[in-house]
Structure 1
Amino acid sequence: MSTTTKKTLVPEYMLEFQCIGSECEDTCCAGWKVTVDQDTYKKYKRLKDEELSPIIDENIKRVRSKASPSNYARIKMDTEGSCVFLNEQKLCSIQLKKGEDYLCHTCKTYPRIWNNVNDVVERAATISCPEIARLALLNPEGIGFQEQIESVEIGLQFSNHINTSKQVKGKKLQKYFWELRIFTIQVLQYRQYKLEDRLLFLGLFYQKVQEYMNNSEEDQVLQLIGSYTNMLQSGTIDKMFADVPVNHTIQMKIIKKLTDRRFFQGGVNQRYTECYTECLMGLEHFEGMKEEDTLTRYIDANENYYQPFMKNHEYILENYLVNHVFSKVFPVTLDKNIFEEYVMLIIRYALIKLQLIGMSKYHKTAFSTDHVVKLIQSFGRAVEHNQAYLTNTKSLMEENGFTTMGYMSILIKN
């Protein structure tokens, strides 16, 4: 493997991360489709190995529709949904026999996410890995970042490539990407205010940015960031949102519907199923139950279990949001509708929150950070890696007129 020296930017949790292999409570080798890149596929076809070659020939099949160099073939899972190359110790037989260089790009990089911003290589990770979830979410000091010089593989495939000095047709805000990103993370980590107030404030900001985009006034964005930064530091944001009403009825109706859609779509991992079941049992929401009774229990769970717990653990959700913003290069949609990205961020937050509220009632005083990490990690697998669900959710919200700041405040405010 050829490497080159590059400047990198990494969240501090990545400096501690090490795969724990067979000790992991989940496996990254089961429960989803694994794509094989073209170079690795050809390497596998040239391989002469009495044990591995027959398994490769039988279980790695070409993608015939919309194939690409990165999505060239797929590994067939066994009847239990696990990778056929997984041994009894939950370790990869290809890596054990041939080394890491023989892993396809998907397996070699997971759970890492690589982006390139202004020729700086950014290395983050997806929260769907249990060890990453623990390291990223459970730091009460919040997620910090480090610049360093590292050896990076030549030809590394990046999830996103952004150059703020280059004018790209349609990408009206590309030159302001860094300023928008820094401001977003600054707001999310500004603990003088409750997280829900920070999210409401961020929504007003991106609503205004969207107005500028609609009116071709993108050159006003830097001034807007300056004025909103002054507001943030004024110490009065909480008063600004003190009178925003709470509407648990609409909140629960929207998010419960979105949660159910994902669960009944199928292909949900066991850990997420357990969390979903605990949420339903906590809210005593079973077939035939009256909606108003479930709502009463939802409000009780929020007030008596979820809120008291989150008073000292809100940093976990903050860390989830910051990791999403950094790893997904939010706001990556720098063209037509930047507010949509904010909407999808809030939907993720609200989906997690509703399920945690139900789970907190189920576990009562035993509710702990372990339960929160389990839900967010398994949510990462079930939702973050399911683009079809995210796309359908976005369409559903748009069709029902739910993508306004008014509806976002309903999803945020508890």
Structure 2
Amino acid sequence: MSSIHLTKTVQSVQPRYVGRFSCTGSACEDTCCSGWTVVIDKKTFNAYRQTKQPLLMERMATQVKRIRSLSSDVKYARIEMQAETRDCPFLEERLCSVQRELGEDKLSDTCATYPRKSRVLGGQHQQALTLSCPEAARLALLAPDAMDFVEVSGKVRVESVIQIRSKQGLSPEMMESVSLFCLKLMKVSSLSLWQKLAALGVFIELLTASLKRGGHAGVPALLKDFDTMVSTGGIADALSAMLPDYAVQATAFSGLWQIKTSRKNSAVQRSVQAMVAKGLGADPVTNLVTQQQLIDNYRSGVQRLPEALKQAPYLLENFLLNEMFSEGFPFAEASPYEHFLKLVTQFGLLRFMLAVQCNDDAKLPDAEQMARTVQVFSRKYQHDADFAKRVNGALKNSGWDALEKVYRFLRT
């Protein structure tokens, strides 16, 4: 079979950890070849139908199904996972038989690119990894230089590269400038992490308001003025009076954590979720916990979290930086402010899951366990579009999407 997917070599800006990544294959503790809905592009589907490999022919015919409703060339078919295990039917001894028998080129775009996310913004190729991959999570979260940005040469599958177009009336070049400014803001050493997020919220609110009234020409001046405000300490002074609200944080994020997702959990995912439940003080039989227990246990855990994070001091900041860079923050949602709300919600829910695991006086989670929690969080919640919609709806319906209320989610 001839090559069906065009690749090319490009210069790409990426976090340093991306160049260190290599799939661990059968050694992966939470394989990407199980538990997903895997879509197949049209080119790959047609190639599968033409294969003469005896090992694959029957499974290609019975386990790869056309998507009849709202299909496209990108989402043309899907792989039917095994009913009991939710494993891909092409797994053989935890390795992909399609890649082994037909070559990497015959993998679908979904399988060939995961966990890589590639895009072009303002003429610049950019690449990051999604942290739902265990090895990507370890590399991104635990190394001090993981989120240093470098330019490297590498191959990309052309049809999998997302082309970022003009949004909110801004040119791609100006969008790139705004994205870089947001990343720079999250690296300001004079601010704590919650202060960086709060400052980011102020900037995003100003940016959103400016774009709504057609003030696109004023964005460069906004970037300059806000940079001055941060460097002179004005932002830190304005945030100094904020107090933590553990009751609000515990109630809001425990509610989000308990939202059921549609996917079958792996052993690794069940283990992390069980640790979170234990940290909350949930009854082992009924899984129930009183409101006051919930608040007290969260407060205890979140106050001990900084001690645990000494083992992985870059973990939360690197998580935020990776999410912002990989999604082209703040332009992946309907407005910059909605993208900010999504980021804050993800941060708060992840911090909640980490914090309650610190509620055990005998033992704090180690760096590996915290990285595993990020990976499970990413896989369980970030890849579930229905979950994201329910979270956004819950915030809006409860009035928690206003910036002054969002601040109460941040400080600890």
Deviation by residue 1:326-358 (Cα, 9 ceiling, x = unmatched)? 111111248x62101000000000000001011
Check if 1:53 corresponds to 2:57. Answer: yes
Any residues of structure 2 matched to 1:103-118 within 5 Å, and which? 103-118=107-122
- In the superposition, the TM-score normalised over structure 2's length comes to 0.92
Change (3 A) 1:141 1:48: closer
1:80 matched to which residue of 2?
Answer: 85
User: What is the deviation of 1:197?
Assistant: 0.6
2:323 matched to which residue of 1?
Answer: 324
User: What is the deviation of 1:363?
Assistant: 7.3
2:160 matched to which residue of 1?
Answer: 157
Any residues of structure 2 matched to 1:81-100 within 5 Å, and which? 81-88=86-93, 90-100=94-104
2:348 matched to which residue of 1?
Answer: 350
Is residue 283–residue 362 contact of structure 1 (8 Å, CA) maintained in 2?
A: no
User: What is the deviation of 1:145?
Assistant: 1.5
Check if 1:26 corresponds to 2:23. Answer: no
SS of residue matched to 2:237 = helix
User: What is the deviation of 1:252?
Assistant: 1.2
Is residue 198–residue 410 contact of structure 2 (8 Å, CA) maintained in 1?
A: yes
1:281 matched to which residue of 2?
Answer: 278
State the Cα RMSD in Å: 2.0
Deviation by residue 1:83-119 (Cα, 9 ceiling, x = unmatched)? 011112x101111122111211111111111111233
Is residue 207–residue 339 contact of structure 1 (8 Å, CA) maintained in 2?
A: yes
Check if 1:37 corresponds to 2:41. Answer: yes
Any residues of structure 2 matched to 1:240-319 within 5 Å, and which? 240-262=238-260, 265-286=262-283, 287-303=287-303, 305-310=304-309, 313-319=312-318
2:391 matched to which residue of 1?
Answer: 393
Is residue 269–residue 378 contact of structure 1 (8 Å, CA) maintained in 2?
A: no
Letter in 1 for 2:72: S
Is residue 275–residue 359 contact of structure 1 (8 Å, CA) maintained in 2?
A: no
Calculate percent identity across the aligned residue pairs: 25
Letter in 1 for 2:181: F
1:404 matched to which residue of 2?
Answer: 402
User: What is the deviation of 1:218?
Assistant: 2.4
Choose which of 121, 127, 134 in structure 2 pairs with 1:130.
Answer: 134
Change (3 A) 1:261 1:173: farther
Choose which of 64, 71, 83 in structure 1 pairs with 2:68.
Answer: 64
Task: Supply the distance in 2 between the matched residues of 1:204 and 1:312 (Cα, whole angstroms).
Answer: 31
Is residue 193–residue 237 contact of structure 1 (8 Å, CA) maintained in 2?
A: no
Task: Supply the distance in 2 between the matched residues of 1:119 and 1:320 (Cα, whole angstroms).
Answer: 25
Is residue 251–residue 295 contact of structure 2 (8 Å, CA) maintained in 1?
A: no
Is residue 125–residue 132 contact of structure 1 (8 Å, CA) maintained in 2?
A: yes
Deviation by residue 1:265-324 (Cα, 9 ceiling, x = unmatched)? 553443233222211211203355321122112212222x21322356442111111111
Is residue 127–residue 376 contact of structure 1 (8 Å, CA) maintained in 2?
A: yes
Task: Supply the distance in 2 between the matched residues of 1:181 and 1:21 (Cα, whole angstroms).
Answer: 34
SS of residue matched to 2:375 = helix
User: What is the deviation of 1:380?
Assistant: 1.1
Letter in 2 for 1:29: C
Change (3 A) 1:257 1:92: same
Task: Supply the distance in 1 between the matched residues of 2:216 and 2:7 (Cα, whole angstroms).
Answer: 39
Task: Supply the distance in 2 between the matched residues of 1:193 and 1:141 (Cα, whole angstroms).
Answer: 19
Letter in 1 for 2:222: L
Task: Supply the distance in 1 between the matched residues of 2:257 and 2:275 (Cα, whole angstroms).
Answer: 13
SS of residue matched to 1:116 = strand
Task: Supply the distance in 2 between the matched residues of 1:410 and 1:370 (Cα, whole angstroms).
Answer: 29
Letter in 2 for 1:317: L
Is residue 311–residue 367 contact of structure 2 (8 Å, CA) maintained in 1?
A: no
Task: Supply the distance in 2 between the matched residues of 1:152 and 1:214 (Cα, whole angstroms).
Answer: 36
Is residue 122–residue 173 contact of structure 2 (8 Å, CA) maintained in 1?
A: no
The answer to which of 113-122 and 203-212 deviates more is: 113-122
Is residue 6–residue 120 contact of structure 1 (8 Å, CA) maintained in 2?
A: no
User: What is the deviation of 1:65?
Assistant: 0.8
Is residue 37–residue 71 contact of structure 1 (8 Å, CA) maintained in 2?
A: yes
Q: Where does structure 2 lack aligned partners over 5 or more consecutive residues?
A: none
Any residues of structure 2 matched to 1:143-222 within 5 Å, and which? 143-153=147-157, 155-158=158-161, 160-163=162-165, 171-172=169-170, 174-222=172-220
Task: Supply the distance in 2 between the matched residues of 1:364 and 1:326 (Cα, whole angstroms).
Answer: 37
Q: Where does structure 1 lack aligned partners over 5 or more consecutive residues?
A: none
Change (3 A) 1:65 1:81: same
Choose which of 107, 121, 125 in structure 1 pairs with 2:125.
Answer: 121
User: What is the deviation of 1:375?
Assistant: 0.7
